[in-house]
């Protein structure tokens, strides 16, 4: 049982990283970024390729994948968000959806549809804490995920950039009259969100040992459900919900059956939408307006 | 300091400004009065570059600003306090104030200016860590003005700062405006509470259906019975 809880915590922490990216963009810009799952896939994919093809050490590959995904976020803003009419609420959602599909097809065409596998040499040893078996990789994943989320929390709540982002989230007009460069805030929001997804991609790759080019539409999109479960735009809500879903999935696959694990996030989503549409931890924006 | 010439602004088919011109000299207090829907807020929003005009020119300190970005205007000291006290309700009073100085880098100066803003509005002092939304209407308006001061304004544009405030608060903020004027800050004050606005102003513009129908010395305007009855009667009781 404790073993499952720990495994769930580890899985959940990567879910949290993905969901936080969705909720960050939603909170600040009020749009659903449907290319986010693909940013996550790109991160994982590039992470593995950098280790395999260039023999980069893992920390460098993680950094590289994070930066590459961040640049993807920049491109996403320039191509799919800035030129698109925001007053038509479907427009940015559809353009990001298109961007994601193009990215996925590009990857499949360039690298094939088979999953990329992490070299076995990377997989470090397991060790025991009392009766619980923990792998070094898992600990690494958990530590990195937590560090990234604490870092983001600090950025949002304690820095001038974070204040600008929160101000823009509350009112773009007010942000403008304060002298906040809203375009810059928008770019950085996309970049940070995509970079977190890229890092999550590498971390999930380490955990699974491989990344499929289609992972964006299986695991990546789960982040969307988790964001809504936690409350739209609520960063801490996304964090806790990610871990909650991870643990529930693990418990389900062990005690009910692995095939049911993937429905957990979506079942929970439906229950939350029916019983508590503002999300478990409350929405940061007015849900009626969406 | 500010010179607006032949400004035309539309919202779709609605013509909100139809050739408005206006001049403000350095150190002056100029008030724009007019009934609801006259185009007063549109004028301020266009000057602070929140709205694109159809045509016209706007010069600030001798330079055209019609193509500037809002943050560039903040850099140059043109600060807009919008209608409805647009404070950030979810952020703390302190965060609101510090964001007022968003474009500034002089940490020491910012610290001193927070002290100064709090000395103008002592009610904010005990509430620095409270969310802006928990303040009363009057306190929110004070926060909006205090926040604008954090940007070291040269020209302060205030959109109906007295709207919905108790007379006690109205008197208090008008006293502050007089102090700001004494410090050399130029003020463009949009008001429906016209009698009080004219009493502190040098010059007054009357805006009606998107046009300036009268521009006069404020004291002259106050004496103009027809204008007082047509536009200023509403808030007589307050002054
Ligand atoms: N966002 C908007 N969309 C359409 N019409 C608007 C908008 N804002 C203002 N208007 C119209 O423009 C005119 C001027 O409005 P406004 O500048 O707010 O006047 P005032 O501030 O003097 O009350 C009014 O007829 C108003 O209905
Ligand atoms: Mg108005």
Mean pLDDT in residue range A117-131: 69
- Give residue-wise pLDDT tens across range B74-120: 999 999 999 987 899 999 999 999 999 999 999 999 999 999 999 99
**A65 in any annotated domain:** yes
Q: Identify all chain A residues contacting B69, using CB atoms and an 8 Å cutoff.
A: 181
Average model confidence (pLDDT) for chain A?
88
Q: Does residue B235 carry a pLDDT above 70? A: no
Q: Which domain holds residue A253?
A: 2-121+132-289
pLDDT given for residue A89 in this prediction: 78
pLDDT in tens, B169-190: 888 899 999 999 999 999 999 9
Indicate if the pLDDT at residue A287 is higher than 60.
no
Contact A163 B91 (CB under 8 A): yes
Residue A183 maps to a domain: yes
Cα gap A155→B51, rounded to integer Å: 31
What is the per-residue pLDDT for B238?
Answer: 39
Preferred mutation among B84, B86, B148, B158 to probe A, highest tally of A CBs within 10 A: B86
pLDDT-derived band at A116 (thresholds 50, 70, 90) equals confident
pLDDT, one tens digit per residue, over A86-96 is: 778 789 889 99
Kindly state the percentage of chain B with pLDDT values over 90. 73
Q: Does residue A230 fall inside a structural domain?
A: yes
Distance, in Å, from the CA atom of A248 to the CA atom of A260, rounded to the nearest integer, reads 11
If one counts every other C-beta atom within 10 angstroms of the C-beta of residue A266, the result is: 15
User: What count of CB pairs under 8 Å joins A to B?
Assistant: 61
Backbone φ and ψ of A134, nearest 5°: -125, 135
- Residue B104 CA to residue B94 CA, distance in Å, equals 16
The phi-psi region of residue A183 (left if phi > 0; otherwise alpha if psi is between -120 and 50; otherwise beta) is alpha
Q: Mean pLDDT over residues A18-41, rounded?
A: 92
Pocket (CB within 6 angstroms of ligand 1): B 11, 14, 16, 34, 36-42
Given pLDDT bands bounded at 50, 70 and 90, which one contains residue B166? Answer: confident
Query: Does residue B30 sit in helix, strand or coil?
Result: strand
**Mean local confidence (pLDDT), A195-207:** 90
Evaluate whether residue A186 is within a structural domain.
yes
Residue B133: the pLDDT is 93
Inter-residue contact A179 to B48 (CB < 8 Å): no
Give the span between the Cα atoms of B50 and A175, in whole angstroms. Answer: 11
| pLDDT(A5) > 90 | no
pLDDT at site B193: 77
CB of B189 within 8 A of CB of B16?
no
Predicted confidence at residue B232, as pLDDT, reads 57
Q: Whose alpha carbon is nearest atom 14 of ligand 1? A: B39
| In the block, residue with structure tokens 């004219």 | B198
pLDDT confidence of residue A7: 84
Q: Tell how far the Cα of B140 is from the centroid of ligand 2, in angstroms.
A: 18
Q: Are strands B29-33 and B186-191 parallel, antiparallel or unpaired?
A: parallel
CA angle A241, A243, A245 (to 5 degrees): 65
Question: Predicted confidence band at A123 (pLDDT cuts at 50, 70, 90)?
Answer: low
Q: What percent of chain B has pLDDT over 70?
A: 95
SS3 B24: strand
Q: What is the pLDDT of residue B205?
A: 94
Burial A152-163 (b: 16+ CB within 10 A, else e): beeebeeeebbb
Per-residue pLDDT, averaged over B9-27, amounts to: 93
Tokens in use for B136?
Answer: 């009363």
What is the rounded average pLDDT of the residues B17-22? 94
The secondary element (H helix, E strand) that includes residue A207 is helix A182-208
Question: Which residues have C-beta within 8 Å of that of residue A29, sequence separation ≥ 6?
Answer: A81, A92, A168, A169, A186, A189
B98/A contact by beta carbon, under 8 A: yes
> Tokens 């799952």 label which residue?
A37
What whole-number distance in Å separates Cα of residue B45 and Cα of residue B58?
12
Do the chains contact at B74 and A167, CB–CB below 8 Å? no
- State in words which class domain B2-236 has: alpha beta
Q: Is the pLDDT of residue B230 over 80?
A: no
pLDDT band at A193 (very low <50, low <70, confident <90, very high): very high
Of A26-40, A59-73, B221-235, give the lowest mean pLDDT range: B221-235
Could you identify the residue written with the tokens 């050490």?
Answer: A57
Q: What integer pLDDT is reported at residue A290 of this predicted model? A: 32
Sole residue written with tokens 């970049």? A191
With respect to residue A127, please indicate whether it lies within any of the assigned structural domains.
no
Q: Do A174 and B70 touch (CB under 8 A)?
A: no
The pLDDT tens digits of the residues spanning B47-74 come to 999 999 999 999 999 999 999 999 999 9
8 A C-beta contact, residue A41 and residue A205: no
Region B230-239 average pLDDT? 50
Given a cut of 90, is residue A144 above it in pLDDT? no
Give the distance (Å) from ligand 2 centre to CA of residue A182. Answer: 24
Domains in chain B: boundaries:
2-236
Contacts of A160 in chain B (CB under 8 A): 98, 102
- C-alpha B15 to ligand 2 mean position (Å): 15
**How far does CA B20 lie from the centroid of its chain?**
17
CATH number at residue A100: 1.10.3470
**How far is ligand 1, taken at its centre, from the CA of residue B134, in Å?**
29
Give the pLDDT confidence score for residue A137 in this predicted structure: 74
For residues A131-139, average pLDDT:
74
Mutant choice from A179, A184, A186 vs B, greatest count of B C-beta within 10 A:
A179
The answer to whether the CB atoms of B86 and A177 lie below 8 A apart is yes
Over chain B, what is the mean pLDDT? Answer: 90
For B54-75, letters b (16+ CB in 10 Å) and e give eebebebeeeebbebebbebbe
pTM here? 0.88
Which contiguous run of DSSP H or E holds residue A100? Answer: helix A90-111
User: Of A149, A152, A31, A15, whose CA–CA distance to A99 is shortest?
Assistant: A31
Report the number of distinct structural domains present in chain A. Answer: 1
Distance from CA of A52 to the nearest CA of B (A): 45
- Could you read off the pLDDT of A249-273 as tens digits, one per residue? 998 988 888 888 888 899 999 999 9
pLDDT-derived band of residue B237, with 50, 70 and 90 as boundaries? Answer: very low
- Supply angle C-alpha B134, A183, A172, rounded to 5: 25
Measured from the alpha carbon of residue B163, the closest ligand is 2
């Amino acid at each position: 049982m404790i073993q499952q809880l720990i495994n769930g915590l580890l899985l959940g922490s990567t879910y949290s990283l993905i969901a936080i990216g969705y909720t960050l963009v939603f909170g600040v810009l009020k749009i659903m970024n449907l290319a986010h799952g693909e940013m996550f896939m790109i991160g994982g994919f590039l992470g593995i390729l950098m280790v395999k093809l260039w023999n980069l050490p893992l920390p460098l590959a993680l950094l590289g994948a994070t930066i590459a995904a961040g640049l993807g976020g920049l491109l996403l803003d320039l191509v799919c968000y800035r030129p698109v009419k925001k007053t038509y609420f479907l427009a940015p959602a559809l353009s990001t959806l298109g961007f994601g599909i193009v990215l996925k097809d590009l990857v499949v065409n360039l690298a094939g549809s088979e999953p990329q596998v992490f070299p076995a040499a990377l997989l470090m040893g397991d060790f025991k804490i009392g009766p619980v078996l923990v792998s070094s990789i898992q600990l690494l994943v958990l530590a990195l995920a937590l560090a990234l989320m604490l870092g983001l929390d600090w950025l949002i709540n304690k820095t001038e950039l974070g204040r600008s982002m929160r101000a823009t989230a509350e009112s773009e007009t007010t942000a403008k009259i304060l002298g906040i460069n809203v375009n810059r805030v928008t770019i950085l929001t996309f970049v940070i969100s995509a970079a977190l997804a890229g890092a999550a991609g590498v971390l999930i790759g380490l955990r699974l040992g491989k990344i499929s080019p289609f992972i964006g539409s299986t695991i990546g999109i789960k982040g969307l459900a988790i964001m809504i479960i936690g409350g739209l735009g609520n960063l801490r809500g996304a964090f806790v919900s990610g871990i909650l879903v991870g643990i529930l999935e693990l418990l389900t696959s062990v005690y009910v059956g692995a095939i049911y694990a993937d429905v957990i996030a979506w079942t929970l989503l439906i229950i939350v939408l029916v019983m508590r549409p503002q999300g478990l931890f409350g929405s940061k924006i007015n849900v009626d307006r969406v | 300091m500010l010179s607006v010439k032949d400004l035309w602004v539309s919202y779709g088919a609605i013509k909100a400004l139809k050739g408005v011109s206006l001049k403000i000299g350095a150190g002056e207090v100029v008030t724009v009065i007019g009934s609801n829907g006259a185009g007063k807020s549109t004028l301020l929003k266009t000057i602070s570059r929140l709205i694109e005009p159809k045509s016209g020119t706007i010069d600030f300190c001798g330079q055209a600003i019609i193509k500037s970005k809002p943050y560039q205007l903040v850099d140059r000291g043109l600060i807009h306090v919008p209608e409805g006290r647009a404070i950030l309700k979810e952020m703390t009073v302190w965060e609101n104030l510090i964001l007022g100085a968003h474009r500034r880098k002089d940490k020491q100066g910012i610290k001193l200016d927070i002290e100064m803003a709090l000395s103008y509005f002592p009610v904010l002092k005990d509430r620095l860590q409270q969310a802006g939304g928990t303040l009363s209407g009057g306190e929110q308006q004070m926060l909006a003005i205090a926040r604008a001061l954090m940007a070291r304004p040269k020209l302060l544009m205030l959109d109906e700062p007295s709207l919905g405030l108790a007379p006690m608060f109205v008197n208090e903020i008008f006293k502050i405006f007089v102090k700001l004027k004494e410090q050399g800050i130029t003020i463009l004050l949009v008001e429906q509470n016209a009698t009080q606005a004219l009493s502190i102003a040098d010059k007054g513009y009357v805006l009606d259906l998107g046009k300036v129908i009268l521009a006069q010395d404020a004291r002259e305007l106050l004496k103009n019975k027809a204008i007082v009855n047509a536009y200023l009667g509403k808030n007589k009781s307050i002054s």
